[in-house]
Amino acid sequence: MSAQLARPHILDPHGALDPCATCEARPVSVCNAIADTDLGRLAAIAVVTETEPGQCFIDEGEPANSFFNITAGTAKLFKLLPDGRRQITGFVGAGHFLGLAVSDTYAFSAEAIERVRFCRFQRSKLRMLLDDFPLMEKRLLEVAANELVAAQEQMLLLGRKTARERLASFLLLQSRQGMPCGHSRRRFSLPMTRSDIADYLGLTIETVSRTLTKLRSEGLIDVVSQAEIIVRNPSGLEGLAGGLC
């Protein structure tokens, strides 16, 4: 018998540390639908992985063998046109579940912006697990429903809002990122580049840059550094964004 580490109370039956029990993303993730006592089963099929910034960990069109659950860092999801035009469909952080599509290939690509850590689940294994934990399936449905609402909001932005309105909406969204519902930060930093913002808002980097400058000159925001934003006039921004809920 090999030497045991300390803290045997968080060892699972196989003698390894249970990563799920101590996972900092659990409170904000679908995993919280699984009781502590059953957490070992989830941990048993989770493969924790880390990626460097700029690294792609999901490729549109490839066979969809895995589900993913982000536990740290930020990634961008995007779709490409044959000629290289790109649409970023979302920025995802800790707690976000990926790969829900029913199709047998991924419908989008995912690339790490910051260093990203995630759990990878083999689809077939997770599906079996879900059969035993209907509560988690319920949570997934909730999550999917919320994402659908967000997607519709983004369609409104892309189809009908001006560049100014898009930037205002985007900045407000970022200021609420990770905050409890109804709250926001006045000061926050953007982990993504201007190019990412442009491809998320259906604009060019030049228009993003120009519009940010304009918003700054009007006193609505402050651009402390390239990545650092301060919202000077939240209600003004909200007015511009046009009733983003």
Identity (one letter) of the amino acid at 121?
F
Site string for DNA, 129-168 (x = CB under 7 A): ---------------------------------xxx----
Site string for a copy of itself, 17-36 (x = CB under 8 A): --------------------
Number of residues binding to a copy of itself, judged by CB under 8 A: 43
Q: Which does 137 bind (CB under 5 to 8 A by kind): DNA, a copy of itself, none?
A: a copy of itself
Sign of dihedral through CA atoms 191, 199, 176, 113?
Answer: negative
Asked if residues 171 and 239 have their Cβ atoms less than 8 Å apart, the reply is no
Instruction: Tell which one of 114, 153, 222, 238 touches a copy of itself (CB under 8 A).
Output: 153
Residue 80 has φ and ψ, to the nearest 5°, of -120, 150
Q: Is 209 in the site for DNA (CB under 7 A)?
A: yes
Shortest Cβ 227–a copy of itself spacing (Å): 23
DSSP H helical ranges for the chain: 39-45, 123-132, 134-160, 163-176, 194-201, 205-217, 234-241
Cα of first residue to Cα of last residue in the chain, in angstroms, is: 58
Smaller CB distance to a copy of itself: residue 103 or 225?
103
Q: In Å, what is the CA distance from 160 to each residue of 25, 33, 82, 194, 240?
A: 35, 38, 25, 21, 13
Q: Which does 20 bind (CB under 5 to 8 A by kind): a copy of itself, DNA, none?
A: none
Q: Is 189 in the site for DNA (CB under 7 A)?
A: no
Instruction: Tell which one of 10, 128, 145, 224 touches a copy of itself (CB under 8 A).
Output: 145
